[in-house]
């Protein structure tokens, strides 16, 4: 049975691979806040268990078994976040640290019941897809708001970044999932966007914010 530490390694490897493709040992150690030798020792153990493909000086990769196990951890995390928001009234900026603890619960029945109570949601409160019970993850067809053409109207369907600081900024700007945003202008110098959405006219968003808001492609 995987320990919380093993699960954190697998989940982090999956996230890094989805963000940037190839994953180095230094990427992994930095993301987890551990030393490179510690990460190296754990990766070797995961390789012996058939969860990680490991060769010295080569990028790291999850095996099919490792990827499935990582996806099931993500499933528990995202189901928990959705439950906390939908059933318990937490804000979407509050749920990540709580879900980090609950995702390590080993009872499949607990999460199956949670899923059923919510009517089997397919996304979490931040619009990220929830893997199914077999660890399958549906491909996403979305683009960044910052890539939208001038004059284009798009619906917010997810976030590429879900830190509490960013979510509080979204709260302050009154931007949520399903908000319909029209891009009026993109500044040539810094890529900042002038946008409108219900109740807000000609709001300027930085390129950083535009990069983190995902819309229907």
Tokens 């993301």 appear where?
31
Look at residue 137 in the predicted model and tell me its pLDDT.
84
CB neighbour class for 189 (10 Å; exposed up to 12, middle 13-18, buried from 19): exposed
Q: pLDDT truncated to tens, each residue of the chain (217 aa)?
A: 689 999 999 999 999 988 766 899 999 999 999 999 999 999 999 999 999 999 888 899 999 999 999 999 999 999 999 999 999 999 999 999 999 999 999 999 999 999 999 999 999 999 999 999 999 988 778 999 999 999 999 999 999 988 999 999 999 999 999 999 999 999 999 999 999 999 999 999 999 999 999 999 6
Look at residue 113 in the predicted model and tell me its pLDDT.
97
Contact 111, 79 (CB under 8 A): yes
Look at residue 22 in the predicted model and tell me its pLDDT.
80
> Which H/E stretch holds residue 8?
helix 4-20
Look at residue 2 in the predicted model and tell me its pLDDT.
81
Q: For residue 98, how many C-alpha atoms fall within 13 Å in the half-sphere facing its CB?
A: 16
CA distances in angstroms from 98 to 80, 159, 196, 212, listed in the order given: 8, 19, 34, 23
CB neighbour class for 22 (10 Å; exposed up to 12, middle 13-18, buried from 19): exposed
């Amino acid at each position: 049975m995987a320990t919380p530490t093993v699960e954190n390694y697998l989940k982090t490897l999956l996230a890094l691979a989805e963000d940037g493709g190839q994953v180095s040992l230094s990427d992994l150690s930095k993301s987890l806040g551990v030393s490179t030798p510690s990460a190296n020792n754990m990766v070797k153990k995961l390789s012996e268990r058939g969860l990680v493909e490991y060769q010295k000086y080569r990028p790291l990769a999850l095996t099919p078994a490792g990827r499935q196990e990582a996806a099931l951890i993500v499933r528990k995390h995202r189901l928990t976040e959705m439950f906390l928001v939908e059933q318990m009234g937490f804000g979407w900026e509050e749920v990540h640290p709580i879900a980090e603890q609950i995702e390590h619960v080993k009872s499949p029945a607990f999460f199956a019941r949670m899923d059923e109570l919510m009517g089997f949601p397919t996304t979490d409160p931040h619009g990220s897809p929830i893997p199914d019970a077999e660890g399958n993850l549906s491909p996403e067809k979305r683009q960044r708001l910052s890539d939208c053409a001038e004059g284009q109207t798009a619906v917010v369907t997810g976030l590429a970044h879900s830190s509490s600081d960013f979510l509080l900024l979204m709260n302050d700007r009154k931007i949520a999932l399903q908000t319909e945003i029209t891009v009026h202008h993109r500044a040539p110098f810094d890529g900042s966007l002038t946008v409108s959405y219900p109740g807000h006219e000609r709001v300027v968003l930085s390129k950083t914010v535009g990069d983190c808001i995902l819309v229907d492609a």
